[in-house]
Amino acid sequence: MNIVEVQDLVKKYPAFELKDVSFGLESGRITGFIGRNGAGKTTTIKAMLNLIHPDSGDVRYFGSPLLKSEADIKKRIGYSTGTVSWYPRKRIRDIVSIVKRFYDTWDEAAYRKYLDLFALDEMKTPLELSEGMKVKLNLLLALSHRSEVLILDEPTSGLDPFSRNELLEIFEDLKKEGVAVFFSTHIISDIEKCADDIIYISKGRIVAAMDKDAFIRQYSEEGETLEETMLRLEGGVDHD
């Protein structure tokens, strides 16, 4: 059963349009949201978080519409949208001390675990962090309150290969705990390594939303890697 339902999202901009985007996410599965830059990944994720106002369509979590139970739903999901770009001169400790007050389910042990794992210093400010460490700080906040759904926009971008691997292992652990992990990326190898499902978006339209193996069976030619398949598909997709 889907715990997240995105139905017929439409958002029109002068130079871009999100067209009838629909898909679902299940508990205990890792879903890779894939597409080239400008395909509509971030727009979709922003609509899923009520950061943008879709022209039409609906987003439901745990069976409830996002707009009707926004606060309750956001307590049960974790999200990270790129690198941290807020409060550059505030100490991480001070930012966290405020953030954790919003979550009844804040898990201090998990917070400490990821703080150590990501080698983050609480006394530093976001301004003192590299781009990769900023991504980790964002992930730290998303991972520390026992989320049932994790929505991450390009979480592996800017991370070194070791950190990316660590993060993908964290996804696997969360999956075992029944968390639905949804992450966007244009790094195909990340999808290849850990995703159970693939949602492929191109030019604002969902081209495929299915199990990874089914995707490979349907779209890959013999001997092709997933990356080669995607490159070929991107060359051939036409929505006009």
Binding site for other proteins (CB under 8 A): 46, 49-53, 70-75, 79, 81, 85-90, 94-95, 98-99, 101-103
Torsion angles phi and psi, residue 38, rounded to 5: 85, 5
Q: How far is the CB of 196 from other proteins (least distance, A)?
A: 26
With a CB cutoff of 8 Å and minimum separation 6, the contacts of 150 are 77, 78, 79, 142, 143, 174, 179, 180, 181, 182, 183
d(CA 158, CA 161): 9
Residue 110, number of CB atoms within 10 A of its CB: 15
Closer CB to other proteins, 62 or 103, in the complex: 103
Closer CB to other proteins, 75 or 232, in the complex: 75
Of 87, 188, 89, 202, nearest in space to 141 by CA: 87
Closer CB to other proteins, 106 or 193, in the complex: 106
Q: How far is the CB of 85 from other proteins (least distance, A)?
A: 5
* Structure-token pair, residue 8: 């017929």
Closer CB to other proteins, 79 or 200, in the complex: 79
Closer CB to other proteins, 19 or 100, in the complex: 100
Residue indicated by tokens 């075992």: 176
For the chain, helix, strand, coil in percent to 5 are: 40, 25, 35
Q: How far is the CB of 98 from other proteins (least distance, A)?
A: 5
Q: How far is the CB of 174 from other proteins (least distance, A)?
A: 19
Closer CB to other proteins, 96 or 201, in the complex: 96
Q: How far is the CB of 71 from other proteins (least distance, A)?
A: 5
C-alpha separations of 199 from 5, 155, 229 in Å: 13, 16, 14
Contact 18, 54 (CB under 8 A): yes
